[in-house]
Amino acid sequence: MKDISIYFSQVPEFESIDNELSSFIEANDSSGFPEIDKAGIAIIHVPEYRNSEMQISDKAKDSFRKQLYRLHRGDAWDFKIYDLGTIQAGEKIEDTYFALSQSISELIKKDVIPVIIGGSQDITMACYSSFENLERTINICAIDHALNVGDPDSPVKANAYVSHLLMQRPCYLFNYANVGMQRPLVAKKEIDLFEKLYFDICRLGEFNQDFKRAEPHLRNADLLTVDFDSIKSTETDNNVYHQPNGFKSDQICQVAKYAGISDKMSCMGIFNVNPSHNSHSASLLAQIIWYFIDGVAQRVGDFPIGSKMNYKKFHVHLDEFEDDLVFYKSEKSGRWWLEVSYKSGEQEKYERHHMVPCDYDDYQRAIENNIPDLWWKTLQKLS
């Protein structure tokens, strides 16, 4: 493993208290940079805001750590938790991106899941670059009230970076899903672009009606990005955040939990976090992190790659198709997947993407002779 300690500054000292996370986290403090020798979770703070219009104060910069370290360890947390410290802003923003990208790549190689605390939403670019370094095709799920497409000919901004992801060559982005979009805040041309690219949108209203609509998107993602501003401002701090509608505190923690449970999830970022937020916001941020870690602890390892002996297989015939649709149900978790065929010779590239997470309702709709949207969209990207 490359030495990534050069990118980090130390975290404040916290009193170690039995049964609290303060006694379990291996932190980059006066004792030195932790030895990353086992799989686990790594917390990274990246206070980089130069591509954002947020008004930033240095007050309470590490307040989320104080709140996190006071929480209690969950059940079955039999992996290490590292706090690597803070990546300081480089001379240029690209320097910050590079430091974070290199760090994430090295951690993923060691089966350590980075949890990135931003910084503005454009730091997603650095997270994506880490998978480029690994030459791994990925899916991104964004918890966001907006789509943040932007213009590829304009500079990257916190609210305009997705178009820059799409312009990367070679492109390692297979799918992008948004959960929480609010239609009044998004231009129709951005929605049209998502439809043209066969990307996924689960609107906030759909999420509120039925959380199950978001779960397959979370289970399908390699990288999760959470815009802290997508949380309803009355749940955080009305003086800093300004969304009258959005996710409730318990909902965003539930999202984090299900994201952690996903076997594919390799990196999580929480962005547009204003370091001047109040203690209530810091406490919520700490709990989001806690629930993600708790989700990781509850993984059952049932993503269907390789042998599918432990899955129930269902064939569904549709009138319009010669071949049946093939569904798999895990006997471990009861979760469903839909198999989508891909071109021969593309196994290495698409092995992690042709088994698409779905739910029982998708299976029921197929029985009623309705083609699932996720099957159609995935087929277009595999073709």
At residue 62, the pLDDT reads 74
First-last CA distance in the chain: 37
Please, what sign has the CA dihedral across residues 289, 294, 334, 383?
positive
95 exposed, middle or buried (CB, 10 Å; 0-12, 13-18, 19+)? Answer: middle
Nearest one of 344, 347, 349, 343 to 379, comparing CA atoms: 343
**Cα(82)–Cα(19) distance, integer angstroms:** 16
**With b meaning 16 or more CB within 10 Å and e meaning fewer, what string describes 337-363?**
bbbbebeeeeeebbebbbbbbbbeebb
At residue 241, the pLDDT reads 85
Residues 6+ apart with CB under 8 A from 354: 339, 340, 341, 342, 378, 382
Whether residue 204 contacts residue 246, with contact meaning beta carbons closer than 8 Å, is answered with yes
Whether residue 182 contacts residue 220, with contact meaning beta carbons closer than 8 Å, is answered with no
Q: Is 88 helix (H, G, I), strand (E, B) or coil?
A: coil
- Inter-CA distances, 369 with 316, 357, 380, Å: 9, 19, 20
Query: How does strand 80-87 pair with strand 40-46?
Result: parallel
Query: How does strand 80-87 pair with strand 112-118?
Result: unpaired
**Cα(330)–Cα(256) distance, integer angstroms:** 22
**Cα(187)–Cα(230) distance, integer angstroms:** 17
**Cα(380)–Cα(383) distance, integer angstroms:** 5
Please give the structure tokens belonging to residue 180. Answer: 């929480």
Please, what sign has the CA dihedral across residues 13, 280, 17, 108?
negative
pLDDT tens sequence for the chain (383 residues):
899 999 999 998 888 898 899 999 999 999 999 999 999 999 999 999 999 887 665 555 678 999 999 999 999 999 999 999 999 889 999 999 999 999 999 999 999 999 999 889 999 999 999 999 999 999 999 999 999 999 998 999 999 999 999 999 999 999 999 999 999 999 999 999 999 999 999 999 999 999 888 999 999 999 999 999 999 999 988 778 889 999 999 999 999 999 999 999 999 999 999 866 568 899 999 999 999 999 999 999 888 876 677 899 999 999 888 889 999 999 889 999 999 987 665 555 667 788 999 999 999 999 999 988 888 899 898 87
Q: How many CA atoms lie within 13 A of 247 on its CB side?
A: 28
DSSP class per residue in 241-302? ---SS-B-HHHHHHHHHHHHH-SS--EEEEES--TT--HHHHHHHHHHHHHHHHHHHT----
Provide φ and ψ at 23, rounded to 5°. -90, -5
At residue 127, the pLDDT reads 97
**Cα(79)–Cα(316) distance, integer angstroms:** 40
Domains of the chain with bracketed CATH: 5-297 (3.40.800.10), 311-382 (no CATH)
At residue 346, the pLDDT reads 57
Q: Which amino acid is at 375?
A: W
At residue 304, the pLDDT reads 81
At residue 223, the pLDDT reads 98
**Cα(76)–Cα(227) distance, integer angstroms:** 29
At residue 382, the pLDDT reads 85
